[in-house]
Amino acid sequence: MSGYSDGYWWSPDGLRLHYRDYPGGEDGRPPLLCLPGLTRNARDFEPLARRLAGEWRLICPDMRGRAESAYAKDAMTYAPLTYLQDVGRLLADLAITRFVAVGTSLGGVITMLMAATHREWLAGVVLNDVGPVLDEAGMARIRSYVGVGQSHPTWVHAARALAEANAHVYPGYGLEQWLAMAKRLYRLNNGGRVVLDYDMKIAEPIRAMGSEAGVDMWPVMQAFKSIPTLLLRGERSDLLGEATALRMAREIGDSAELVIVPGVGHAPVMDEPESMAAIERLLARVLHG
């Protein structure tokens, strides 16, 4: 594992939030800001950091209500616009004005909001299995499990529960990979039980919205024009439809590359050979134009 330092910052509404900071080289290349999915956290980017840290700086925040970041007093602040404000404060504290955004699922929604409001921040973009339209099948699956507490006596029990629930997402995984995922998703509580590492209340805004359509995000695709952009889609994804991914690539144009990651669903972990090769191509474009 590449070494990192722990950092902390304060949200605009007074929450103490945490991030991992993996050091890069000294050649002035922009850092990677790695934004995790709904129930994930900074640990989700360990596979990417193993490959890139040392050459590239990676800043991996825990969003409010996840892992080492404080839980919100008001559950309705578990919303993309609030996360964007939190991240904006982090960037200001670190004096970072330009970076490569790597957004998985919810992190990609935050990245799209960045493109709409602060396009000048983006030296490059990875949208990992997310787009302006989210398939209802995937959203229904997410609503079915998010905020449902789990408790396991051992890490192996947690890994087996993950495997049972997600075999269709990562059909090629063995116990070692499920264990690694469990270590990223769960934590040990004070009673020695293995529990999910997020505030169960993050589900409340999603359940409140139900299946209502949100804001039309298609116009945001225009903001990615001329920004090196990688669109990753899991071949088995139930959240990002193939037609949506193809339309995203068309609307963004020549600066976009669409890569279908074979044999996985929502979302690629980004340690897959196809994902990693595509990310390295994107970073080469960021460096060399």
What does the domain layout of the chain look like in residue ranges?
5-146+214-288, 148-197
- The number of angstroms, rounded, from the C-alpha of 265 to the middle of its chain's C-alpha atoms is 15
Instruction: With beta carbons less than 8 A apart as the criterion, state whether 127 and 133 touch.
Output: no
Alpha-carbon gap, residue 69 to 61, rounded angstroms = 9
pLDDT of residue 143: 87
Q: How many other CB atoms are found less than 10 A from the CB of residue 241?
A: 17
Phi/psi for 78 (5° steps) reads: -80, 75
Instruction: With beta carbons less than 8 A apart as the criterion, state whether 152 and 189 touch.
Output: no
pLDDT of residue 78: 97
Write down the architecture of domain 5-146+214-288 according to CATH.
Answer: 3-Layer(aba) Sandwich (3.40)
Query: Of the candidates 121, 118, 86, which has an alpha carbon nearest to the alpha carbon of residue 100?
Result: 121
Give the residue carrying structure tokens 């037609």. 243
pLDDT of residue 1: 44
Alpha-carbon gap, residue 146 to 204, rounded angstroms = 9
Q: CA 277, 265, 113 angle in degrees (round to 5)?
A: 75
Give the residue carrying structure tokens 């490569």. 100
Alpha helices in the chain (DSSP H): 46-52, 80-94, 106-117, 136-145, 155-166, 175-185, 203-209, 242-252, 273-288
Q: Which residues pair with 260 in a beta bridge?
A: 233
Strand order in the sheet with 151-152: 151-152, 194-196, 186-188
pLDDT of residue 210: 63
**pLDDT (tens place) for every residue of the chain, 289 residues total:** 459 999 999 999 999 999 999 999 888 899 999 999 999 999 999 999 999 999 999 999 999 999 999 999 999 999 999 999 999 999 999 999 999 999 999 999 999 999 999 999 999 999 999 999 999 999 988 988 899 988 999 999 999 999 999 999 999 999 999 999 999 999 999 999 999 999 999 999 988 876 555 788 999 999 999 999 999 999 999 999 999 999 999 999 999 999 999 999 999 999 999 999 999 999 999 999 7
Instruction: With beta carbons less than 8 A apart as the criterion, state whether 256 and 283 touch.
Output: no
Instruction: With beta carbons less than 8 A apart as the criterion, state whether 189 and 195 touch.
Output: yes
CA distance from start to end of the chain: 30
